[in-house]
Amino acid sequence: MLKKLCPRFRTRYLSELTPDFFLERDIKGLLIDLDNTLVDWGEYSIPPEMIKWVTKMKMAEIKLCIISNALENRVKIIGEKLGIPWVSRAIKPRKSPFRRALAILGTKPSETAAVGDQLFTDVWGGNRMKLYTIWTTPLSTRELWFTKAVRHLEKIVLKKLKKKGIICE
Ligand SMILES: [Mg+2]
């Protein structure tokens, strides 16, 4: 169980990952979480550095797809603004939304990364699908009350992963 919650890579923000990071790892597609990964929680506006980052990825021909548990309306607006496809109401960590996103991008699990700020949805779901999982720091402290509760569990898991030497700071 613990291993399934362990990300392959940990970084602060999505915008810190360069096209080279992915190309060196033969990653051709990214499934990106929306809330607190690409935009602040519940937001419609996209931070300028994220717009720049998406442009950079597109220029490097890395395919992107938003995969979010949020409702269609907001995910669609952001997907259209960025010009990338999306899967909404994903109910991560279920496998089916990840499968749908892979079908949209046309990439294999071995050449696809899942990026997100939550261990129990983004990382677990990505690991279940054998994707390269990347865990990011939430963009804002604002989030769903349920997520706030889950953060305590994340801390416990992180402590255990560190203790076992599976993850280092
Ligand atoms: Mg999130």
Confirm whether 169 is domain-assigned: no
Confirm whether 14 is domain-assigned: yes
Q: How many domains does the chain have?
A: 1
Q: Which residues span the domain enclosing 117?
A: 3-163
Ranges of residues in the chain with a pLDDT under 70 are 168-169
Tell me, in angstroms, the distance from the centre of ligand 1 to residue 24's CA.
26
**CATH code for position 35:** 3.40.50.1000
Confirm whether 168 is domain-assigned: no
Burial class of 21 by CB neighbour count within 10 A (0 to 12, 13 to 18, 19+): middle
Tell me, in angstroms, the distance from the centre of ligand 1 to residue 142's CA.
11
Tell me, in angstroms, the distance from the centre of ligand 1 to residue 110's CA.
23
pLDDT of residue 1: 76
Tell me, in angstroms, the distance from the centre of ligand 1 to residue 104's CA.
21
Digit-coded pLDDT (tens) for 37-68: 999 999 999 999 999 999 999 999 999 999 99
Walk across the sheet containing 9-11 and list its strands.
Answer: 9-11, 132-136, 112-116, 29-32, 63-67, 86-87
Confirm whether 79 is domain-assigned: yes
Confirm whether 102 is domain-assigned: yes
Locate 134 and state its tokens.
Answer: 């990347």
- Bridge-based pairing of strands 63-67 and 29-32 is parallel
Tell me, in angstroms, the distance from the centre of ligand 1 to residue 39's CA.
9
